[in-house]
Structure 1
Amino acid sequence: MRTVFLFLLVAFPALDFGSACEEARKKRDLLVRTKRRWVLSTIELEEEMIVNYPYFISKMYNDKIQGKDFRFEITGEAVTEGYLTINENTGEVFVLKSIDREKYPCFHVIFNVYDTDTNQKIDKELAFDVEVKDINDNPPRFTKFPKTFTVNESQAEGYLGVQVVAQDIDEKNTKNSTFNITVIKQTPPEPKIQAKWIDERTVHLSFTGCFDYEKAKDYKITLEAKDHGTPPLSSTAVISLSVGDTNTHMPEFKKKEFQTEVHEMKLYKDVFRFPVEDKDTPNTDGWRAKFFFISGNEERIFKVETDPKTNEGIFSIVKEKNYENTTMVELKIGVENIEPFTKCVNGKLIKQDGKLYRPDSISVTITMIDDNDPPVFQPPKADVYEKEESEPGRVLFTPKVYDPDSSSFRFELVDDPANWVSIDEKTGEIRAIKKMDRESPFVDADNVYKVVIAAIDDGKPPAKSFCNVSIHLRDINDHKPQLVNNSLILCGNKNNKVMIPVQDLDAEPYSGPFSFYFDDEEDKKHWELDPAYGQQGGLVSLKPLPYGNYSIPLRMQDQQNNEGHETLEVVVCDCAEKNTCRSKLALSTKLGGPGFGLIIVGILLFLILLLTFLCNSGREPLKELKDEGNQTLIKYNQEGGVSACNAEPVLSSPKTVPDGIKQTSITRRFEMAPEFYHNEEMYRSELNMMRSMNFQHQKESYRTQEGRSMYSSLASNRMSSYRNKSMDRYSSVRSDLRSDYNLTGQVERKMAVIAEADARDKAVDRPFIYNFEGQGSKCGSLDKLSLSNLGDNLQFLDDLGPKFKTLADICQ
């Protein structure tokens, strides 16, 4: 009886099991009450209860606590979150605050009883559930819906493409969580928009009727979600809908007729421009015009394109056509938009069907003027087959030409890059005038030589047409095998073989593979050909060879035994990484101190020579001595008192004077005789002679080209310059004559005297007028003096007597 009583006390507050905790209990094993065991139960609470807290909800007992000091304890989420508590002494369970079922729909609570003395469990633990009963405290809310969207006015009635999702977080499958979604307001009201269910949470919007962009461009749609609870709760959402403009107006031509004249067989662009007008939104597919031919363009000769900027139609002639006579062409052209036409009429959407709304159209008249048609080649392209290197003179091709407008025409050669053919102006025969070489650069890779000819009629203006003649050249064996490279490198430090590339300009079967042979049998002692047959040969050295150059005559044969003979130059050397001969290292030396000293001394000597050259460069160049055999009449201004006859003073001339002292001419090129030496006695004798005769006599020895020495006196050319100078000048001259090495100074002084004489007397090659010298001397002529008995002995000049001594004293 006691056990049943305790069970009733515990289980009475929770006779009805909740659904929230039922799922949790299924996850745990069901505990069955046995003797001295806790009783499992479920306590049900209403969410958001409006009571005084703490609020008593149940009381716990245990039959093993009699006679013991004990305490009760509960644990779980409800305790830690502060919703439930228990009186340790009495076992009374209290709820401390209101519970939100949407947050905590169920609590799982564990009970224990402890001995206060030992703090040990008196009995095994027991668990029970606290389920929170739902109330309608949450309205359904919209979780997914577009705030704005756009629909075209050409949209057909039905689904708008908009989905709306709502949710009520109250307990599932109850009236509190069941709701409806409806459109409670729409501005403007037409077309009618509804919400249709897809599932228990989702609806989509649809409409009946049609949109008109000109009437309404924007709509406001208010949706309501309302549950079935008591009392019912609801929420709303507003969606903004924009209407997009589409093709609701047909384009119209601004002008209905067009006319023009053109010449046949010519292409024209932008013949006409067709302006149109469209009331739809610019730069949209409902505004952009699309032109099409209704009739007259069956051969697709004409074309109309749309200007993307102006929306005009551009009319062009894109295909040539030959009209026999002047012809008038009638065309009919229509216009429509890229986007199909639609119209909302009386709440119904009407599409273009060709009955109610037809595209606008225009008429175009074109007069095609018949021109002189060119001759027509039949066929326009010709193929001719010829063997290369054939003898010239053969007729290669004769064209066939038809001209509908004229029976007279001529031919001309338009393109013949190699000048191999000629053409007959009357018949058009193409004849070879040179041998044709298939390997010529004017022949393409397909062995074709192309020639272009033209036929020209006699119309006004003349018309011309062209024909392409392709001459296919057949190959012959007219080329011999030859080396691609006459010089090869054999790396002696790497291998003993080098490949020999060979080429033959002929094609199969007149080219490779080739056979290779030595032209000199001696080469077989050092070399071997391996391979000796193929597109290229291989040259192998039989033994190591000294580095150097080797010439190897080779003989090469093609498949038809046409031989080529060439000499292969092989360089055997020490190679680097890329099979190139290493360059020889240059010899290097290291200069020491003496070496640098010699370099510096050499530089200084070079600078000295350079300065000397620069200093002397300003002087007059050395002229060749000219001793022209001039004769000078010597004028004696003072002869002393011992002479009875005083000669009247006369002007002397440096030019040749009759009865003067003759001078021996010398050669232009001269040089000082190496055997010429001066001595003091010779100078003394010359000085005495100058003093006695008032005559300066300078001896110089010259070696002529014949090796003979010639003497010449410089006194006759210098006398006019020395007359008014002091004897210091003569001392200077004497000192210069004593120097064997101052030839340059002597030549310069002589040239100065010659220059003074030339300045006085400019006439060289004309008769010379002498100055008047008086009535004549009372003394006898010098011609009466005979010096032939003296011979070549000039010692008598050493002492010329007192008269000359007096003269010499005066001059000194």
Structure 2
Amino acid sequence: MAKGLQGFSWTMLLLLCAIQELGSWAMHTAVEGPGLGQPGDPALLAGGRVKRGWVWNQFFVVEEYTGTEPLYVGKIHSDSDEGDGSIKYTISGEGAGTIFLIDEITGDIHATERLDREQKTFYTLRAQARDRQTDQLLEPESEFIIKVQDINDSEPRFLEGPYIGSVAELSPIGTSVMQVMASDADDPTYGSSARVVYSVLEGEQHFTVDSKTGVIRTAVADLDRETQDRYEVVIRATDMAGQLGGLSGSTTVTIVVTDVNDNPPRFPQSNIVETAPVGTAIGRVKAEDSDVGENTDMTYQVKDEEGVEMFKVTTDSNTQEAVITVQKPLDYESKKVHTVVVEALNKFVDPRFVDLGTFRDQTIVRVSVLDVDEPPEFRPPSNLMEVQEDAHVGSVVGVVTALDPDTANHPVRYAIDRSTDAERIFDIDAKTGAIVTGKVLDRETAGWHNITVLAMEADNHSQVSRASLRIRILDVNDNPPELATPYEAAVCEDAKPGQLIQTISVVDRDEPQSGHRFYFTLAPEANNHHFSLLDIQDNTAAVHTQRVGFNRQEQDVFLLPILVVDSGPPALSSTGTLTIRVCGCDSTGAIQSCNSTAYVVSATLSPGALIALLVCVLILVVLVLLILTLKRHHKSHLTSEDDEDMRDNVIKYNDEGGGEQDTEAYDMSALRSLYDFKGGPGRNPASELHALPQWVQSPDLDFSVFRDYICRKVEQADEDLSVPPYDSFQTYAFEGSDSPVPSLSSINTWSSGSEQDFSYLGGWGPRFRQLAALYAGRRGEEDSEES
């Protein structure tokens, strides 16, 4: 875009230059080569004028160009150039070949470096047009200028600082103090880049500055050297005539307030800030005494009434000075200067001079209270507000007021400390201090709110005060009454009319100032002829029977809807249901049984009792599982014991054995191992066990084998001292030969009872009975078998 604009401007200026310089055309062409105005040219001989050959105008280039491509400056051109490339354009002079480059064919000039107008404002160059073949000048060499165009890139600077000025105290408003000047390196002839205006950045309360000239003047007439003897004023200079986007610079001007004779002679005085705590020493005074030694010892006391109230005087025993300290808080706004009368007395008084009064003297001490910027104070200090819970969002709860105690009386701004109201239930108007509701209130959720209100100076938020505020939410009747519990009652089948069934009470989340008053009645949908409801007038009601007897076979449950209404305003109501179950009772009226649905009493178990009950059940379950596990372990242990530790059991069968099925139902290997007896008398019983021989069908079989077996078992039991004091009798026998019973179990177990029938053993039965009686008599026990 810049290139196009420059090309356009160059074309217009070209036309102007051509018109203005037609009169001097012959002079410029006098030095051209042959054929271009040299002597002997037919045009000169004919007395005609030679046309000028150069075509260009003055060039401009913008400073601080930041593009990546070379910046187009302009174009030089000769009117003898027919565009066939026979003319070569060159330049020489300042920056030629380094800063500025030319296209030899087109004559376009470009800038290759970033230029700074504040360092160099223009460049002077010379242009040549030469024949490309012979390198001879086709046009007389001409000088042209490339001007650097200014942009606003330099801020104003105060070059004559530091500035120190002075003004007499109590000078009238507008008194000239001094002048400051700022310079701008930008081009003052181009735009407003170097047009500077002045303003006061700090210290505008006491001084002003002329925006055009930079003259500083007083803005107040009460400059007091005794209060403040110097001021630091910051002056700012902005270019572009102060418009938006201008650059600025600043400087600090020290203004000394010179003294004038505006104070009469006074007694010694002290200065102290108004916020000094009680007990702060504000100054010392000393009475001179020409005596020596102990005669110079003095004591001091305050004599005036005001001084006694506000100040206290003590004596420094080392220096004999009176030390004045603050006794009550000071307030600059209430009183700026206090006058204290201090009296000095000699400790040791010569009686001869008592009447002359030469042992005492008085002086007046002026105490100046210095003002301090204090935070706002809340007035009055009320910290309780009330608002109804149905107030709309934005309703005013109350107004807090705080004032700046300082003389300046700065405006106060208000805020709420959100750490005390994180939910933003309340808002506050920053200017008026009006507290409004920010959300819907609910007294039943939160009846009180404690918030902290902040008051701060509008121009100095560091001066802040805090006040705690309690907001009470007033109740409105917005919750209906409800039955205290889901009541359930029971009625006997033989109940009489007028019998009390249940007493009803209600609860209401509201808290009216006049107290609760509830009204009870049966709901219209009750359609009840069995029960009546009596309002007792103490916020309870009683349910009575209204008929004689009930039959739970016909109806075992009655649902009685009860309507409860509060006293409002407005009156609210709700309906609760009383469940009445018909139960069977004894003659005394005690409930014995209700319907199949479990009767639930209103006094349910507490959570603690339920937990204890569950714990007990769990303990019982664990004990049962433990017992079962121990029993299984015990049985397994008996099965796996060594043969010598096993006990024989007497197993009774009252029916015929199952034949071969018995051998499949029991593990016979453990039983048959008991027959393994070896050796004769005198051997270890544990080693005498041997398998009984297989019975064969021979009528000549001797019964001695059984007798030996039983005797050895008895001896084994007698010699084993580790067995309990009882024995069991267990025999294992095979089916004998020639038995009349066709099928007997290979295991036959019987008890020691004498009445046991052994007839199924055929001829062996009586002998078995004799052996059994012998064994039972030897052991001295009867009926000790285990099965």
TM-score higher than 0.5: no
Q: Which has the larger radius of gyration?
A: 1
